[in-house]
Amino acid sequence: MRFAYLIGVIVLVGVAGSKLDVAAEASGIAALRHEHLRLLEELTQDLASPPYLVIDTYDNRVDLRDASHQIVRQALCATGSGRKLEGAKPKYNWRFYTPKGRFSVLRKVADPIWIKPEWHFVESGEKVPVFAEDKRRFERGALGEYALYFLKDYMIHGTIFEVNLGKNITHGCIRVGREDLRYLYETVEVGCPVYIY
């Protein structure tokens, strides 16, 4: 919305500056031209893109790219397997894909605690805890040292099985190696765009 407003004002100021009556005051024209230049500068700053992440789920690769679209860092990753899991109850039905589209880093967490979802218990052949606060749901260390959330239940996180990087093996999250995860955590800001295909 702000972008459209700035474009409209720039066009109006530009037209007004070019069609003003010759008898108009020089100071009025100068003020309009100054405002025109100020708005162009603001628009240029708004269009400058921050670094962004591109996640390729086919080749299992994470690229951190700068504003000029050059790769700053490339990492091997693991993404969703596409596997289907069905439990005894009709509600226990999952398909493990990594979501595709445009997202952004919503939050960053150091030393994240994995809150095990229902599929974990079904997959492990365990009884699903009734209460969300059940201590069996919480596990420290399974997600690595950091997590970058791009959706409520999806994140870029570490893995204790780096041998599986480069494979479509996850339940939907993006796993990366320890050093790459640390670099992303330290470099990427909340709000960073994340493109997944």
Alpha-carbon distance of 93 to 109, in angstroms, equals 29
What the block records as the tokens of 152 is 């409520």
Rounded to two decimals, the pTM is 0.74
Tens digit of each residue's pLDDT (9 = 90 or more) over 85-113: 999 898 999 999 999 999 999 999 999 99
Alpha-carbon distance of 32 to 24, in angstroms, equals 12
Task: Provide the Cα torsion 22, 27, 30, 32; round to 10°.
Answer: -90
Residue 13 reports pLDDT greater than 80: no
Predicted local distance difference test score (pLDDT) of residue 7 = 45
DSSP 7-47: HHHHHHHHHHHHHS-TTS-HHHHHHHHHHHHHHHHHHHHHH
Residue 52 reports pLDDT greater than 70: yes
Tens digit of each residue's pLDDT (9 = 90 or more) over 53-95: 999 999 999 999 998 899 999 999 999 999 999 998 989 999 9
DSSP 119-182: HHHHHTTPPPPSSTT-GGGEEESTT-SEEEEEETTEEEE--S-GGGTTSEEESSSEEE-HHHHH
